[in-house]
Amino acid sequence: MVSVGGSTIRIASFPSGTRLLPPITQSCVFGVKFSPDSSRFATIAVRRGFRVYNTHDGVILFSSGPGDLVCKWPATNPLAWSSDSQHLFVANPGETTCLDLSKSSSSVWSIHETHPRVSLVSNGRFIACSAGSSVSFWDCVSHKQIDSMISHTTEIYCTALSPSGRLLACGGSKNVTIHRVRDVLSPEYFDHGLPLVQVSDPALKSWIHGDPANAEMLLSEEIASTSSPSHYVLANRTLIRVHMKQVALTIEDVRESLQLQPSPIGYITMAVALLAQGNREAALCMFDLAFHDCEPHENRFLLLLKSILVFECGSQEEAITLVGHLATRTNNDDDAIYLYTEACAHLMRHVSIIADTFRRFLKLCI
């Protein structure tokens, strides 16, 4: 946890409140934000530029200095990080600065309106930038504006993006408006279906073809190749290791995944890991968190997975009833019906299908 008061920046653990570093001095700071992997944090000060600090020792990794890269106005939410923690986006009236920490270089591009109250949010693929009464969207890679915009009749004071990037909240003087960003941007800017399917092709092929050892090796190589592995990769390796009965190695991966970004697949994976450790009650409670940031069409599949978890926790009759209702109440004739009814048949034969159901679902998504 990082806090700013006056000219002092303090870093403390949460929830204990234990101070982790001596106070850091920087004048006129009005914004501070941790990177997704928590290895660094950025600060921004009026007319004094922005800095990036190492979380572990407080060393300054980058300082723009009081030059061109200076925020002249106290914007509401002027800092946003890319998902890999390597790029920092800084808002200024009329422009956005992108800092590439891996190269210690920066670039600047103009935004849609020059306005002192600027707010940035990002899911790592796009940036939503509010200024005045509208929100523009920008591609994180090309730095080019995406055609779509959201307009309000009154000024937007602040914005917030859901973990999946699908919902954008815009705060005004008297109300908050929720927008479905998926109705505005093309599908390429979002994860498709259940987040579990975000996995490299080689690992996916090994997984669905029944070679978990090779899939685990490929995922481990992917994790070792970067200082900031994706939360999807960590969650996927946890599922593989549970399937391989390597329970002792699972909890650390999934905790890191949830720390990087809370996600449905992270909560599902933690539930499966807890169940493998014999903690049934905690597994069921953890699984329910997966419903918090899902599209309506994903809830049915999550309910199917929960019925499987209920079955594995020992409540076989309840699980069979749940999955039976899902199979009979499906409104369209798609692959999901096959999955539901097959799962029901397996459950009625008292066959454990947690890993098999995940594998079959992935195969449907290829």
Per-residue pLDDT reduced to its tens digit, 306-318:
777 777 777 767 7
Strands (DSSP E) contained in 152-233 are: 158-161, 167-171, 176-180
* Higher-pLDDT residue of 239, 1: 239
The whole-number pLDDT of residue 277 equals 83
Which of the four CATH numbers 1.25.40.10, 3.30.360.10, 3.40.50.620, 1.10.630.10 does domain 195-364 have?
Answer: 1.25.40.10
CB-based contact 309:353 (threshold 8 Å):
no
Average pLDDT over residues 197-220: 83
First to last CA, the chain: 40
Distance CA 242, CA 356 (A): 12
Mean pLDDT of the region 160-165: 78
- Do the first three CATH levels of 1-72 and 195-364 match, i.e. the same topology? no
CA 51: distance to chain centroid?
Answer: 24
Answer yes or no: pTM beyond 0.85: no
User: What's the half-sphere exposure (Cβ side, CA atoms, 13 Å) at 126?
Assistant: 29
Over residues 250-259, the mean pLDDT reads 83
Confidence band (pLDDT; 50, 70, 90) for 247?
Answer: confident
Q: Assess whether pLDDT exceeds 80 at residue 60.
A: yes
Report the percentage of the chain scoring pLDDT > 70. Answer: 74
CATH of domain 1-72: 2.40.10.480
Go through 315-344 and write b for each residue having 16 or more CB atoms within 10 A of its CB, e for each that does not: beeebbebbbebbeeeeeeeebeebbbbbb
Domain 80-190 adopts which CATH fold? Methylamine Dehydrogenase; Chain H (2.130.10)
The residue written with tokens 């944090």 in the block is 41
Mean pLDDT of 78-83: 80
pLDDT digits (tens, 9 = 90+) for 88-131: 888 777 778 888 888 877 788 777 666 556 777 877 778 888 88
> What per-residue confidence (pLDDT) applies to 69?
46
CA separation for the pair 259, 130 (Å, rounded): 27
- The ranges assigned to domains in the chain are 1-72, 80-190, 195-364
- Per-residue confidence (pLDDT) for residue 214, from 0 to 100: 92
